[in-house]
Amino acid sequence: MKVVIQRVSKASVTIEGKKVASIENGLLILLGIVNEDAQDDINWLSNKIGNLRIFEDENGVMNKSLLDAQGDAVVVSQFTLHASTKKGNRPSYIKAAKPDVAIPLYESFVKQLEKDLGKKVQTGQFGTDMKVELLNDGPVTIIIDSKNRL
């Protein structure tokens, strides 16, 4: 499981002209899933995201977590995070999990993140063409892969 997290002043997701998610001061989380991902990846990643100290404290030092900052989160499915660009110029997405595997893991990730944060997490819609807008704060952008945790 791979995520790109971006600290944002605001972020939103629009589908077919309708805004389905909108946050201020928090994290936009782009989530990519592969077939090998499991609940332990979800648990580890959710805990890491909630506790990662990337928000500024009163001294301007990145010393607060999303939990400390009481920020919000929006999760967007992003199969292209697992693109392979080794051969040719057209990316291959063969590593990305198919919907029958990815959807339950995506939904489980959102539920686990809600549990860890103690609040509702907004989402895009899996497998849909989405327009994602954000104002990256910092900018702070971090990539985390649950397979690289050991």
Nearest to 52 by CA among 6, 115, 10, 12: 6
6 is annotated as an active-site residue: no
Catalytic annotation, pick one of 14, 39, 55, 80: 80
112 is annotated as an active-site residue: no
70 is annotated as an active-site residue: no
Quote the Cα angle for 136-124-126, to 5°. Answer: 130
Estimate to the nearest angstrom the gap between the alpha carbon of 97 and the chain centroid: 16
Catalytic annotation, pick one of 78, 112, 122, 123: 78
Catalytic annotation, pick one of 55, 79, 109, 126: 79
Catalytically active residues, by annotation: 78-80
